[in-house]
Every structure is written in structure tokens, then in C-alpha cells.
Structure 1
Amino acid sequence: MFLAYSRRLSGKVRSASANAELAYFLSFVAGAINAGGFLAINQYTSHMSGIVSQMSDMAILGEFSMVLWCLGAVMAFMAGSATTAIIINFARHCYLQSEYALPIFIEACALIFFGLLDGIQWDYSWLWTSLTVATLCYIMGLQNAITTDISQYKLRSTHVTGTVTDIGMELGKMFYWNRASKKDPTIQPVQSDYKKFKLLVKVLILFFIGGLVGAYGFKTWGFMFTCMMASILVYLSAGPLIDDIKTILFALNQPPVVLEQPATIATLLNEPTTAEIAEAEELSTIETEEVLRTEEDHADEIMPTAEPQKVSE
């Protein structure tokens, strides 16, 4: 039962309800990391809009060190998304069950690494800040790509700009009066997707609740709070990962297949080898000589020696 729910959330076989529940968990974790990370490093890392705008401002003000800092954050976010894409496609081609669980597990490991950074004291504070920001941006990109792939580019979990936009569009459809469709039956009435609306609202609320929990957690326990968030991600990925590990171990423990003769390219292609060709030619020569010898003996038996004729006197 414990692992069954994990398999349902992050397993290869997907359903609409499982996609929604996984989005709820990831949105909660993203809100906690984003809000808590702000208290830790005074920087939001879930959305790239503000970071790119900050990079533009710093370029105009001549703060080129900050431009490089923002550029590194953007590149880290892109690296996280690329990592998810590579893992998902590799797992699909290898027929693994953990195509979504493995990126979630890597996110948990990155969170633990982020928590361990608090215990590292460096003489160069800017390097420590840059590494922590890059780690958080990498985590955000990693998770955002997971939700994007599962929802077929319809949902994001690490920032709520698109979520709020979609909620506003669904509200607009709800309050639309459809006068034109009443006058002209050929015009399709405007209808709101109520299921999508509920999903978006829940994602927004859970992101906000996660922010409250993350802010309180970082304020109370500091960087160690990341271990609590990482434990949630480890649970989400546990079921499919354990299934793949069992499958791999079972395949490794199977006895090797021993062939009676060493397989060569010729035998695999069902083609005769050089030795087989030489043996066949030798047998053909022997058979040909035997046939010729038999024909000569048979000819001697059929045609006896002719007696000389007597000359008449």
C-alpha cells in the first residue's frame, strides 16, 4: 500500500487523477522551496522573468558581475529542464518504470545538497551565494520540466504566472453570457472547463500553502528544513525506482547463455565458414573421382574384347 500510491503518482502508467495529484505535491514543494529559499539567500528562484529583467537592469547600470550572476541562474534553470528531458527519454527507450520518478529522486538529492551548503563556510561569500542560487534554479527547472511533460505543456508547478492566467481565462468563460449563440444556433457557445479550473485553483492554493510552510521551516530550522522536503520527493519516487532496481538485479542474476559452438558472424548470418567451404569442396572432389571410376568399370563390363575374325580360304 505504501509503495502502491507512489507507483500511482510517479509510475510510467499515467491517469488524469494521478497527474493532478502529482501536480499538487510538486506545487507544494515548489512553493516551500521558493519561499524558504528567499529567506535563505534573499532571492526568488522559481521564475525566470524577474531574473531576466534584473539582468537587463544590471546591464544598463553597468553591474556586469550581477549580469553574469543572473545569466548563471538562467543557465542553471535550463540545465535542470534539460536533465529532466534526457532522463525521461532515456528511461522510455530503456523501457524503465521510473521515467518520472528518477528526475524527482534527483531533485531530492539536489535539495539535500542545497541543505548541506549551509554547513560549508567559504572565504568568498559571492561564490557560496552563486552556488546556492544555481542549485535552487537547477531544482526549479528540473521539477518544472516534469510537470510540463506530464501535463503535455498545459501546467507548470514552480511558478504561478501561467496558472493565474489560465484561472482568469476560465473565469472569463464562466461569466460570458453567450448572447450570440442564442441568436444564431450555428455559433458554438463559450463554455468553461470546470475540471481544469478546479485543478488550477488547487495548484495555486497548494503553492501558497507550501510557501507558508517553507518560510516557517527555513525560519525555524534553517537549511535542515530541505531534508523534510526531500523526504516527500523520495517517497514520490520510491515505488517505480524499487521496481526498476528489482528488474535490473533479476536480469543480472540470470545464468549466462552458453552456446555449443562459439558464435561467429558467419554462423549468426547462416552463412558457411571458410572451413565448411573447404570441406565441401574436398567431399565434392572425392565424390567426382568415385563416380568416374564407377563409370569406367561399368563400361568395361558392357563392351567385351572383340575376337579376331577368320579369313575364309
Structure 2
Amino acid sequence: MVLYRPDQLVSLRNLRSWALLAFGAGAVNAGALLACQRFVSHVTGTVTRIGVDAGQLLALEYFLILFCFIAGAGAAVLLARRGEAVHTPRYARPLLLVSAILVGVALLGQAGALGPFGGTVESARDFVFLGVLSFAMGMQNAAVAVSTAMAVRTTHMTGPATDIGIALALLASGTRAERSEARRSIVLRVTKLFAFISGGAAMVPLCARFGFAAFVVPAVTCALATMWTYASAPATAADGVSRA
């Protein structure tokens, strides 16, 4: 099921896709925060809230958000495995579904089905909104992770930040091969980190002006990344690290 070797991950072709996907995830996370002051791809925070609110009904609602993320990850793998042939762009399926979900959120939000934009979590539809976004982020994260042998994650930054620290240490003390790998790691992780931040920053003025309709932006970035990296997957073998 793996499409990309480690030396292919930082090709210009793929690096721009990881950046777009991280940008979109940052935008979705920020959009959820601005809509109802909750994150959707920050699983650590969600699990912490379950612990803090243990014994209360609110804990079950946060558990729903966690379950949706896990369910989205599982759904991505199931969709990807439905490929008819080795070179079928299977991973395009879950990622295009992510785009469709985000467009759906934008349309439903603009139609008033998700309530007013802004404020805090106050009703069941707020948790439905968060659950749907969490499902989409779980799906995106899993599709990218499985296709890259678990090397690339695009919806959270704890791992990339840790990897940057490890790579910096290897640059200072590692062997020649380790330093080469560390440089690739830093390029990939720093790109994702800044893209995620940029996505969050972009959503502030977009949400202020367009409300729920701003979720169209991460839908578009996800679709573009899918076309570049997954809709023509057979070509990636020739798109190696020499272009990094």
C-alpha cells in the first residue's frame, strides 16, 4: 500500500502537496476554534478533555470527537484498499472525500444548519460539526500516513516538532548518512510546520468575512494536493529526491 519511498518524500512534487495538506489542516483546526472554540485535529487535547470531564456528560461528547477521528482514519484505509490495480490512484479517494466533506460543511454552515458562527460549544449540532471535521482530519492523516509508510502526518504538529529536534541533533553529531537523512527530515518537517501555521493564520480574516464558507479554502487545497501527488501516483517513482 506504500506509494512513496523515504527519498521521494521531499521531491518538489510531493513537498508542495504535504505543504498544502498541512495548510488545509491548520485552516480546519483554526476554523473549528473560531467557530466554537474547539480544536478537531488536536487529539491530545481532546483526550485530555475526556479525562478532565470524566464522569460528566461532556466527556462522552468529546469521546465522540475522538471516535470520529479514529473512524475517519479507518475509513481512509478501507477506501484506499478498494483499488482495482497496483497503480490505481487509490489514495485520491479518501482525500477527495475530505474535500467534499469540507465543502459540505461550508454549504450547511452558510444555510444555517450548523447554527451561528462563533461562540462556544452549546448544542448537539456543535458537536456534530466538530465530529464531521474530526472525521475528515482523521481520514486525511491516515491516507497520507499509510501511503508514505507512516513517515508523513499532516494534521498535527507534535510529531514534526519532535522530529525537527531529533534531526538537529543528528546534524550536529550523526554520521554522514544520518546527516543526509536529517537534512531531508528538517526540510519536510519545517515545511509542514510553517504551512500549518499559515493555514491557521489565513482562516482568521477568512472566517471573519465569510464564516462557515471559509472551509471551502482547505477543501480546495486538499483537492489540489490530491491531484499533484495521488491522482498521478505512477509518475512518482521518477520524481525522486534529486529535485528536493
| Residues 105-134 of structure 1: CA deviation (Å, up to 9, x unaligned) | 100111012113322347995121011010
The runs of 5 or more residues in structure 2 that have no matched partner are: 116-120, 233-244
Q: Which amino acid aligns with 2:38?
A: Q
| Residues 247-278 of structure 1: CA deviation (Å, up to 9, x unaligned) | xxxxxxxxxxxxxxxxxxxxxxxxxxxxxxxx
1:79 aligns with 2:79: no
Counterpart of 2:137 in structure 1 is 140
- Give the TM-score taking structure 1 as reference length: 0.63
Structure 1 segment 1-313 matched on structure 2, within 5 A: 15-16=8-9, 17=11, 18-59=13-54, 62-63=55-56, 65-91=57-83, 93-95=84-86, 97-118=88-109, 119-121=111-113, 126-176=123-173, 191-192=178-179, 193-237=182-226
Q: Following the alignment from structure 1 to structure 2, what is the Cα–Cα distance between the partners of residues 144 and 237?
A: 13
Residue 36 of structure 1 and its aligned partner are, at CA, apart by 1.6
| Residues 66-102 of structure 1: CA deviation (Å, up to 9, x unaligned) | 11111100110011101110111111x4456331211
Does the aligned pair in 2 maintain the 1:102–1:241 contact within 8 Å? Answer: no
Equivalent residues, number:
217
Q: Following the alignment from structure 1 to structure 2, what is the Cα–Cα distance between the partners of residues 37 and 238?
A: 26
Q: SS of 1:220's equivalent?
A: helix
The runs of 5 or more residues in structure 1 that have no matched partner are: 1-11, 179-187, 243-313
Q: Which amino acid aligns with 2:138?
A: G
- With a CA cutoff of 8 Å and minimum separation of 6, indicate the structure with the bigger relative contact order: 2
Residue range with higher mean Cα deviation, 38-47 or 190-199: 190-199
Q: Following the alignment from structure 1 to structure 2, what is the Cα–Cα distance between the partners of residues 206 and 122?
A: 28
| Residues 147-188 of structure 1: CA deviation (Å, up to 9, x unaligned) | 211221122110000000000111112233x7xxxxxxxxx6
Q: Which amino acid aligns with 1:230?
A: A
Q: Following the alignment from structure 1 to structure 2, what is the Cα–Cα distance between the partners of residues 71 and 210?
A: 26
Taking only aligned residues, the RMSD between alpha carbons, in angstroms, comes to 2.6
Residue 231 of structure 1 and its aligned partner are, at CA, apart by 2.4
- Give the TM-score taking structure 2 as reference length: 0.80
Residue range with higher mean Cα deviation, 35-44 or 220-229: 220-229
Q: SS of 1:175's equivalent?
A: helix
Q: Following the alignment from structure 2 to structure 1, what is the Cα–Cα distance between the partners of residues 192 and 141?
A: 13
| Residues 210-258 of structure 1: CA deviation (Å, up to 9, x unaligned) | 110122211221111112322233344458769xxxxxxxxxxxxxxxx
Q: Which amino acid aligns with 1:84?
A: A
Moved >2 Å (runs of 4+): 12-16, 18-21, 93-98, 119-125, 188-192, 231-242
Residue 189 of structure 1 and its aligned partner are, at CA, apart by 7.3
Q: SS of 2:61's equivalent?
A: helix
Structure 1 residues 115 and 173, CA, compared in 2 at 3 Å: closer, same or farther?
same
Q: Which amino acid aligns with 2:97?
A: I
Q: Following the alignment from structure 1 to structure 2, what is the Cα–Cα distance between the partners of residues 104 and 153?
A: 16
